[in-house]
Structure 1
Amino acid sequence: MSIKRLVLQVLAAVILYVGISLILEKEYTNDIILREILEGVVFGLLYGVFIWFREKFRNKKN
């Protein structure tokens, strides 16, 4: 998996997380938006690390 594809998947995960969280929260103050963005970035980083490890170990088995 290329770095470009990994970054695009992480960005998509962050955008979806933030969008869904804001819709469910139903409040759009600056504090809540910033909190959700921060949580989305953390989620995206964890998701990116998970994808990277999964691809790394999958390629070793083949």
Structure 2
Amino acid sequence: MNKKRLILQVLAAILLYVIISLILEKEYSNDIILREVIEGLIFGLLYGLFIWFREKWRNKSE
């Protein structure tokens, strides 16, 4: 997988996570926004690792 494509997918996942979390939270104070951004970064990191491992495993199978 292309690094650029992986980074774009992770950034999109972080952005979607933060936006959806803020909509569901229905509060927009600085503390909540900061907490959601940090959670989004953690989610993005885990999602990126998942995609990377999946592609590594898939390429070995072929």
For this structure pair, what is the TM-score category when the shorter chain's length is used for normalisation? over 0.9
* Structure 2: gaps (5+ residues): none
1:33 deviates by: 0.1
Pairs aligned (count):
62
The answer for the alignment partner of 1:22 in structure 2 is 22
C-alpha displacement at 1:43, in angstroms? 0.1
Cα shift readout 1:6-40 (whole Å, capped 9, x = no counterpart): 00000000000000000000000000000000000
Identity %: 76
Structure 2 match to 1:35? 35
Q: Distance in 2 between matches of 1:31 and 1:13?
A: 21
Q: Any stretches of 5+ residues in structure 1 without a counterpart?
A: none
Residue of structure 1 equivalent to 2:52: 52
Task: Give the distance between the partners of 1:38 and 1:46, measured in 2 at CA.
Answer: 13
Aligned to 1:6: 6
Give the whole-Å Cα distance in 2 for the aligned partners of 1:3 and 1:32: 31
Residue type of the partner of 1:50? Answer: F
- TM-score with structure 1 setting the length: 0.99
CA RMSD of aligned residues (A): 0.2
